[in-house]
Amino acid sequence: MLEHLGRAIIVGEYNDAPFPTEAELTQHHGVSRSVTREAVKMLTAKGLLSARPRQGTVVEPAENWNLFDPDVLRWLLERRASVVLLRHFNQLRVAIEPEAAALAARFHQEHDLKLISDGLDRMREAEKGEDDTLSADIAFHVAILEASENPFYRQFRDVVSTALQTSIRFTNKIKGHTASIEDHGAVLDAIAKRDEDGARRAMRHLIGEVLDLIGQDSGDGQGGRAASLP
């Protein structure tokens, strides 16, 4: 029920129609009122719904949606692989991941370095068709967030994992090949050497190339004003 209603809100099913009442939802989905209330409560926590006096439950405007919620981000990306949305996501990455890489260079433990290295090894195996390209690439980036030893950076792992599923497919399609092992290796090497500035630069370069590819595909570089999410 959560998935159905979340997707319906994201695609604009209720843009020109009132959100159903609890009784209507219960009857339509054939579930109990307690299940309906729980689904509505979860959607409210994600910023998609709110309860207003004398109006009942209403759909919130897109600017109030919690884009850091993996479900909301996934529903948006499933609806349409928006170039603007992907650009915005990677602009967030370039503000977060280079600093996470620098922190990983400074604070990583041996097991952290092994996880990053394992991710890179998986990427090499994926190039030979012996592993999954997406999950290997994502494992590499998530391992760096974990290695930062910073709980706030670690909190981005679900958002990064969710959005990279679409971002990597998109950029690989433009390039005609998978991610650069050499560029990812440069990040790992700098982290292993505890070279904070080098790790920061290598990660910024890696994500910068992604932004360049997205800009080329949109035909407007990094410019252009984003339309509203709906």
Q: Which domains does the chain have, with CATH numbers?
A: 2-64 (1.10.10.10), 81-218 (1.20.120.530)
Residue with tokens 């959005």: 163
- pLDDT (mean) for 216-227: 49
When pLDDT is cut at 50, 70 and 90, the band that residue 217 belongs to is: low
DSSP assignment of 71-105, as one string?
A: HHHHHHHHH---HHHHHHHHHHHHHHHHHHHHHHH
Residue with tokens 């433990």: 109
CA torsion angle 177 77 159 85 (round to 10): 80
Q: Which residue has the higher pLDDT, 185 or 215?
A: 185
pTM confidence score:
0.84
Residue with tokens 């997707």: 7
Model confidence over 123-134: pLDDT tens digits?
Answer: 999 999 999 999
Mean pLDDT for the chain? 90
Q: Quick one: pLDDT at residue 55? A: 80
DSSP assignment of 115-127, as one string?
A: HHHHHHHHHHHHH
Q: What percent of the chain has pLDDT over 70?
A: 92
Q: Tell me, what DSSP letter sits at residue 19?
A: P
Model confidence over 49-107: pLDDT tens digits?
Answer: 999 887 889 999 999 999 999 999 999 988 765 788 889 999 999 999 999 999 999 99
CA torsion angle 87 89 95 100 (round to 10): -130
